[in-house]
Structure 1
Amino acid sequence: MGATDQSQVCGATAFPLRRAVGLARSCHPGPVVAVTSLATALAVSAGLGGARCALIGAAVLAGQLSVGWCNDAFDAQRDAAVGRRGKPVADGAVSRSAVWAAAFAALLLCVPLSLACGLLAGMVHLAAVVAAWLYNLKLKATALSWLPYVVGFGGLPAVVALSLPGHPWPAWWAVTAGALLGVAAHLGDVLPDIGDDLKTGLRGLPHRLGVTGTRLLLPVPLVAATAVLVLAPAGPPSAWGVATLAAAPLTALAGLALGRYWREAALAGTIAVAAADLTLLLVRGTALA
């Protein structure tokens, strides 16, 4: 085989591989893995069996994949307009039509997987996925941009609780804490892109608050979630919970104070508080219902 023929074969092999890698990158793998892992960990901490935990994880994974692909496909022109890097559709690594096809395929798969967790649990999860799609298609440019995150994160404890034997309703504090973490996730997710988003006309809540306003607000829902997780469940709070509640505002304020010297300090502080909140939520898993 000549050099030309060999290069053609290599090129033909490389193109599908490049497209597959582009498709994988365009699903927003970080949030997909994080949310799926959180949902599965909640199911484990609630005492669900291995098969049920795997089912919840698969349903959440399918839903998150559909949301991530929808986001990249819908925002391709906007990403290209501002020259945003690391966006496979805008970079031409994968076609927009292929990403849309993957999004709808994942969405269709999400329906039976969600309903297999139980009718109520499935309906709650599907409502969260629909809310996330509405965020991508419309709400991210409005003052209600925070709402789909509240529905999605607040719905995770509900999905797990409703999947338990007897399908009990979730504890109010678990849903409230999840919703507060959702608000923080929205603010933290949008914060680095506010400047570019404003150039393309996006006017979600963080864009209306501005970079400074969003950075100042970011710790508030996290500290509030910590208070709910420590003080709301029945029984006296643990010593570790009290220590976490005392440290949360100090950590958040330290991040804000250091922000003038280190640009990512505020975000680092809120991530630390978020990690503590998620640990509290997982520790309380058996009391979700």
Structure 2
Amino acid sequence: MAAPLALVGAAHPAPAAAVTALAGVLSVAVGADAGTTALVVAAFAAGQLSVGWCNDWWDADRDAATGRQDKPAATGRVSRTAVGRAAAVAAVATVPLSLALGLQAGLAHLVAVAAAWSYNLWLKGTVLSWLPFAVAFGLLPAVVTLALDPPVPPPAWLVAAGALLGVGAHLVNVLPDLEDDRATGINGFGHRIGRRATAVLAPLVLVAATVLVVLGPDDDPGPVEWVGLGVAVLAAAVAAVAGTSARPRRLLALGCTALVAATDVALLLVSGATLR
């Protein structure tokens, strides 16, 4: 069982599950039927697995050089070849699962997955390292609403909120590894602006996403919306502080980022915003 469990670990299961759950809950929020929601979950699960495995396959040597004990391919608990093959299989499965949502939704999801792969293979070490996250998370609500029958484009404020959430998640995620990344030649946006600026910008971007969710719908925000914004502010602050600490707190940082996303979806459900 060691190798299969290690392969699962190489897929970045926590963030993959969080993004997949976010898409599924958002599908319910916009009124999709059970079949459509199941397809949304399946497509996002396959896409996220492909992205996670791609990341560990591509970074195996660099992760080994920096002593990443949390990366199974870097420690030899699973072979790099097996991780690469798993990424390819998941990527191939993503195509029909995405197109089963309809042409518009399917293409939107495939662009989002391609953006995530572009981060792994190229943009991670550039000043545009934030861009794939903005594209992928910005397209998330579009995939969900375009999967409706008939397809409905999402409101601009929701796309912008998704993009900001993605950028914030990226900044939180790179915080623990800035020094190790630089040592192996990675010089992304967070590395260029520095740890302090990244730690300040990350919560600001996450909170800005929630502000859009609170103020974007037509109705005036009520007490629940303001409480939700307060929760997002606190969670974003904790995420930034945890991200500046040692790697063992990475899950806390990512968990708080996921809490901001969950709060945003909950606010959409409570507000009854018209998304279709």
The match for 1:228 is 212
The answer on whether the counterparts of 1:114 and 1:121 sit within 8 Å (CA) in structure 2 is yes
Structure 2 residue identity aligned to 1:159: V
Unaligned ranges ≥5, structure 1: 1-16
Larger Rg: 1
Could you say what secondary structure the match of 1:218 adopts? helix
Deviation at 1:267, TM superposition (A): 4.6
Change (3 A) 1:128 1:268: closer
The answer on whether the counterparts of 1:222 and 1:270 sit within 8 Å (CA) in structure 2 is no
Query: What is the Cα-based RMSD across aligned positions, in Å?
Result: 2.5
Matches within 5 A, 1:154-193: 154-193=138-177
Deviation at 1:244, TM superposition (A): 3.4
Match of 2:180 among 168, 193, 196: 196
The match for 1:140 is 124
Change (3 A) 1:197 1:275: same
The match for 1:14 is none
Alpha-carbon separation, structure 2, partners of 1:268 and 1:135: 18
Structure 2 residue identity aligned to 1:189: N
The match for 1:127 is 111
Alpha-carbon separation, structure 2, partners of 1:68 and 1:152: 14
The match for 1:276 is 263
Change (3 A) 1:52 1:250: closer
Deviation at 1:142, TM superposition (A): 0.4
Alpha-carbon separation, structure 1, partners of 2:125 and 2:265: 28
Match of 2:18 among 1, 24, 34: 34
Match of 2:83 among 99, 106, 114: 99
Q: Deviations over 1:186-222 (max 9, x none)?
A: 0111111112111101111111122211111111112
Percent same amino acid at aligned positions? Answer: 51
Deviation at 1:124, TM superposition (A): 0.3
Alpha-carbon separation, structure 2, partners of 1:250 and 1:38: 20
Q: How many residues align?
A: 270
Alpha-carbon separation, structure 1, partners of 2:255 and 2:15: 19
Alpha-carbon separation, structure 2, partners of 1:207 and 1:104: 30
Unaligned ranges ≥5, structure 2: none
Runs of 4 or more above 3 Å deviation: 243-256, 266-275, 281-286
